[in-house]
C-alpha cells in the first residue's frame, strides 16, 4: 500500500494567508478562511473528514530537505 506524495505547493497555490481545509484524498482544497475558526465552520457543512492546514507560511524551518522546484 502506498500513500502518494501530498503536494502542498499545488494545494496551497492561490492561498496567501489563513487556513485551508483539505479533502481526504489530499488532492484539493474543500474550504478556506481567514481563521481556523472560520474554516472549521465552513467545513462543518461538508459530510466528510477535512484536514486543516495554514496557508501562506514558509515551511523551510519545518526541518525538511530543501530542493529546487524543477
Partner 1 sequence: MIIKYSQLPNIKSKIVLAPLVPITFANGDYEFSTFALVDSGATGAIISTVIAEDLHIDWRKIPANFGFSVGSSFKSHRYNNLDAEVYNHKFRLSVGIVEGISPHRCILGQADIFKRAKITFEGYKQQFEIKFRELN
Grouping H, G, I as helix, E, B as strand and the rest as coil, residue 32 is strand
- Check: CB of residue 32 under 8 Å from CB of residue 39: yes
Q: Lay out the site mask for partner 1 across 5-44 (x = CB under 8 A, - = otherwise).
A: xxxxxx-x------x------x---------x---x----
Map grid coordinates 474554516 to a residue.
Answer: 39
Q: Identify any residues that bridge with 29 across adjacent strands, giving them in sequence order.
A: 22
Least distance in angstroms from the C-beta of 53 to partner 1: 6
Contact footprint for partner 1 (CB under 8 A):
1-10, 12, 19, 26, 36, 40, 49-54, 57-60, 62-70
Amino acid at each position: 500500500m502506498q500513500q502518494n506524495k501530498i503536494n502542498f505547493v499545488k494545494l496551497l497555490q492561490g492561498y496567501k494567508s489563513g487556513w485551508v481545509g483539505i479533502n481526504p484524498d489530499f488532492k484539493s482544497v474543500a474550504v478556506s478562511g481567514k481563521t481556523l475558526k472560520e474554516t472549521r465552520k465552513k467545513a462543518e457543512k461538508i459530510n466528510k473528514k477535512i484536514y486543516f492546514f495554514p496557508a501562506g507560511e514558509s515551511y523551510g524551518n519545518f526541518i525538511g530537505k530543501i530542493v529546487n522546484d524543477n
